[in-house]
Amino acid sequence: MTNQNTLTMEVVDYIQGMTYEGVPPEVREELYRCLVDGFAVMLAGSRAECGRIVQRYVREGKVQGRSKVVGTDIATSASLAALANGVAGHADDFDDTQLAQTPDRIYGLLTHPTIPALAPTLSVGQELGVTGRDLLTAFCCGYEVECKLAEAMNPDHYIKGFHSTATMGVFGSVAGAAKLYGLSVEQTRFAIGIAASKSAGLRVNFGTMTKPYHAGAAAENGVVAAQLARLGYESDPNALDGQWGHFQVMGGGVDADRLIGHLGNPYTLSWPGVSVKPYPCGSLSHPSMDTLLDLILEHDVKPEQVEEVRLGAGNNILNPLRYQEPQNELEAKFSLQFCLGILVLRRQAGIQEFTDEVVQSAEVKEMMKRVKTYHSPEVEARGADRIRSLVEVRLKDGRVLSAEAEISRGTPDRPMGRDGMETKFNDCARGTLSEDRIQKALGTIYRVEELDSVSELMEAMVA
């Protein structure tokens, strides 16, 4: 096998050489934030319809194993547990979002990085009985690989319709699994090659159950790729490179300078950081939602006072958030009409708002008619490195309240903080865990580095 210096080998060398001791302290702190957020959304998603369907699929397969599914009593194989936990983690579209580094990349549309890296490392970690520190190491490894590969990919990959959480998430999964299995250099190259052929996911499925499946499939496929390579299964050893490699075929090219020498230098969790979601819906709506909510609270706007809400944005926002008349909660997650309208009505947009019953209610349907969107060339010309929009509230008394939107809560510019993260965890876990178990689960997360076995962490997350 050739040992030429390729992009594939760049990734392999990082996986092989990465150690927990080499992770900066500030990145370790962010890893704990990722665990709180990741388990929160998995616990919430374990109750979602798509999560329950996948749980039923796993149960019917009757595959026994040591890997548990969050929020349930299911113990199955590492790959199937990764699938179920991955689907649950993205079921409510409430998991974190990778940020762009420069204006020529697309802010918020790279990956949802935690779940495709956490679900597989949890599952493989339980199978192998690894320590909490081993889990953190593999999770961090997968997270970094996923984000750096996504950043290096030509943006046409996403623009043309691929969902990066699926197509790039599989590499986060295989990197974390390879780290835990202790694959050799040769085996790791083969595992990446297998994963490259399992990379898939289309944006046409936004607003359906298959979007959460993207994260679950990425988690499952990475585990399978690592397991096959561990057994001697082979692939092209440079599957990321060249005319027929992943970057060229899937995106039409790669910015190699964003990858070479940059894995762990700096860690994505350190710069540019990631965005924690304040709402269980598409991240492209969040700055507009927070800006609207700020206007509503500042001026004490009542629903009956609102004549119209207008939002001007670029196509990077308007095209993905395409459901103007959503029929269910999945479509509502990609509807500016719902996301803004529900804030006017309730001043909040949490898991309890994103239900079919709420979306189909008469008052919500009426309010959505008052939310108008339009394309703003001026906003679009400023680039897609930020989620920019113009928010305007026209009141029946003639007043017009307006503000530019660019930042939402949970971003590095407006961090949520530990209290905010624990509030989100409580809201997500309630309905799956009892109140005393919620506090036990949080406490276990915060001492994961001390755990002799990752199974102790998972025991705190089952119903």
129 by DSSP, 3-state: which?
Answer: coil
Q: Is it the case that residue 3 has pLDDT exceeding 80?
A: no
- Tell me which H or E stretch contains 392: strand 389-395
Distance of CA 83 to the CA centre of its chain: 14
Q: Is the pLDDT of residue 257 over 80?
A: yes
Spatial CA neighbour of 236 closest among 227, 223, 245, 248: 245
Residue 2: the pLDDT is 47
Alpha-carbon radius of gyration of the chain? 21
- Percentage of the chain beyond pLDDT 90 is 94
User: What's the pLDDT at 109?
Assistant: 64
Residue 153 pairs with which residues in a beta bridge?
254
Question: Whole-angstrom Cα distance, residue 76 to residue 418?
Answer: 33
Q: How confident is the model at residue 107 (pLDDT cuts 50, 70, 90)?
A: low
3-state secondary structure of 165: helix
Identity (one letter) of the amino acid at 176? Answer: G
Q: What is the DSSP letter of 3?
A: -
Model pLDDT for residues 333-386, shown as the tens digit of each residue: 999 999 999 999 999 999 999 999 999 999 999 999 999 999 999 999 988 778
CA distance 148 to 104: 15
pLDDT number for residue 385: 73
Average pLDDT over all residues of the chain: 96
Show the tokens assigned to 455: 């199974």
Quote the CA–CA distance of 153 and 414 in Å, as a whole number: 27
**Main-chain dihedrals φ then ψ at residue 390, nearest 5 degrees:** -115, 125
Length of the chain, in residues? 463
For 241, the token pair is 């490179």
Whole-number Å distance between alpha carbons of 268 and 146? 10
Q: How far does the chain reach from its first CA to its final CA, in angstroms?
A: 48
Neighbours of 443 (CB within 10 A): 10
| Rounded mean pLDDT, 294-302 | 98
Asked whether the predicted pLDDT for residue 325 surpasses 90, the reply is yes
How far is Cα 82 from Cα 122, in angstroms, rounded to an integer? 8
Task: List the structure tokens of 398.
Answer: 């003639």
> What is the pTM for the complete model shown?
0.93
Contacts of 389 (CB under 8 A, 6+ apart): 287, 288, 291, 311, 312, 313, 317, 376, 379, 404, 405
Q: How far apart (Å, rounded) are the C-alpha atoms in residues 116 and 197? A: 17
Cis, bond preceding 412 (omega within 30 deg of 0)? no
Specify the residue for token string 């959505």. 368
* Mean pLDDT computed over 227-255: 97
DSSP code of 130?
A: -
424: closest CA among 38, 37, 35, 46? 37
pLDDT (0 to 100) of residue 105? 79
| C-beta neighbour count of 419 within 10 angstroms | 8
CA of residue 440 relative to chain centroid, distance = 25
pLDDT at 108 exceeding the cut of 70 = no
In the structure, what pLDDT confidence band is assigned to residue 236 with cuts at 50, 70 and 90? very high
Tens digit of pLDDT for each residue in 62-101?
999 999 999 999 999 999 999 999 999 999 999 999 988 8
pLDDT tens, residue by residue, 426-461: 999 999 999 999 999 999 999 999 999 999 999 999
Q: DSSP states of 289-329 as a string?
A: HHHHHHHHHHHT--GGGEEEEEEEE-HHHHTTSB-SS--SH
* Residue position matching structure tokens 């909510």: 293
Q: What are 222-232's pLDDT values in tens digits? A: 999 999 999 99
Round to whole Å and give the CA distance between 109 and 105. Answer: 9
Q: Which residues pair with 155 in a beta bridge?
A: none
The full set of domains in the chain, from first to last, is 7-278+422-459 (1.10.4100.10), 283-405 (3.30.1330.120)
243 phi and psi angles, rounded to 5 deg: -60, -40
Nearest to 88 by CA among 36, 37, 52, 35: 52
